[in-house]
Amino acid sequence: MIYPAEVDAKSQGAAELLRALQRTAARFSEMGRSLSRDFFPHVRVEIISDLAGPAVRLGTALALPGHELVFETAVAVGDDTFGVRGELVLDGEEAILVLPPVEIADPVECAALLDRYVDELTTPARWHVQRLVESCAADS
């Protein structure tokens, strides 16, 4: 038997996780717009927002002259857990930053981890873009 307090706790946890996913999408979108604006015309942005079965991918792909940077998080829903991962990949093959995949049963803890992963991915974004833009300018 499911008690109302359990339903309320599960509903509140699900609502917090949904808010975290919305924050994640908004933060990646803002990061992409800001970098595109600040490094115009060298950076183009594409938002990653993909729901595939029981998983959601959120992030930003930045196209620079000769390079692509992809900042991405994913949350997969299992039977009793949520799997969270995050990564920053250069040119589709070089993993610059890989955050450890974590399985969590509590949706509120999952939301907190997702927020932390977004911080870890977006904080160095400007530095990575600046480095690549300068490298492209030096090669010209």
**Predicted confidence (pLDDT) per residue in 65-77, tens digit:** 999 999 999 999 9
Tens of pLDDT, residue by residue over 100-118, are: 999 999 999 999 999 999 9
Of the candidates 67, 68, 85, 65, the residue with the CA atom closest to the CA atom of residue 76: 85
Indicate the pTM of the whole model.
Answer: 0.88
Of the candidates 46, 42, 27, the residue with the CA atom closest to the CA atom of residue 140: 42
Which residues, other chains included, contact 102 with Cβ-Cβ below 8 Å and sequence gap of 6+? 83, 84, 85, 113
